[in-house]
Amino acid sequence: MLKQISDVVLKAGSIVSSGFHSAKTIKHKGEVDLVTEYDIRTENFLKEKLQKIFPSFTIIGEETHAEGKYPSENVIFIDPIDGTTNFVHGVPFVALSVGVITDTETKYGVVYNPVLDELYSAETGKGSFCNGLPIKVSETSSLINSLISTGFPYKKDNLPYLMKVLEEVLKTSRGIRRAGAASLDLCYTARGIYDLYYETRLQPWDMAGGLIIVREAGGIVTKLDGRYHDMDSDSLIASNGLLHREFLNLLNEIR
């Protein structure tokens, strides 16, 4: 089943890569939240192909979803282009993300960066892979030696708190990165490039594909208060596990 999903995502990736260096029709979903015709084309392709593989599942995509409460099981979350702003500006951190949820947990996760040709995938109990090779989280055991990733929400109402967290992270880590694609941040954490990733105000399609990739690579994903993350929260911490308690303590000191 994972191979079937991966094959669909790879084919959809050709739509994204064909538009990366091309002129684009850009629309605004919000003041700074963008969408292009390639988002729509890719999402429609993914929905059509995945529905044939999972005929009884509800498929929810970023660009065509209806507002309201989402199902907690037998659902597929799709982000056709995670990092649309990067895509528009020619920054090569863009990804297609697919997460298949059964029994409230992600069963299959596939994230593909068609620009760099990196395919991340995982299935419950089977490990995580990048282009078919196993990946594992890092072994960094202290924040001062860690490279941390984060992102910022489109809404700026919580900015003072986020800036305070950022200030403390900069003081207590080796550095911080902001790539602009949550699914890739999760995959880079799974691969041991980042030691920890945190973000707030995410949507299910941002997280669904990458959560299982982190966990199957040996990492931990929780809510900001340390409780298990099961897709019912819009904020998360993903880490190699060794840094989790130290980072939670840092957040507790800021609150």
Is there a binding annotation on residue 206? yes
Q: Which helix (H) or strand (E) holds 9?
A: helix 2-20
Catalytic residue among 79, 185, 195, 216: 79
64 belongs to the catalytic site: no
Other Cβ atoms within 10 Å of 85 Cβ, number: 17
84 belongs to the catalytic site: yes
Catalytic residue among 39, 43, 62, 63: 62
* Whole-Å CA distances, 57 to 29, 115, 207, 215, 226: 27, 29, 18, 23, 30
Is there a binding annotation on residue 62? yes
79 belongs to the catalytic site: yes
- Residue 145 DSSP code: G
| CA dist., res. 244 & res. 233, Å (int) | 17
| CB-count burial class (<10 Å; 0-12, 13-18, 19+) for 119 | buried
Catalytic residue among 63, 185, 199, 206: 206
| CA dist., res. 231 & res. 235, Å (int) | 9
62 belongs to the catalytic site: yes
Catalytic residue among 82, 185, 199, 216: 82
25 belongs to the catalytic site: no
| CA dist., res. 212 & res. 216, Å (int) | 6
- Residue 221 DSSP code: E
Is there a binding annotation on residue 230? no
List, as residue ranges, the binding site for Mg(2+): 62, 79, 81-82, 206
Where in the sequence numbering do the catalytic residues fall? 62, 79, 81-82, 84, 206
List, as residue ranges, the binding site: 62, 79, 81-82, 206
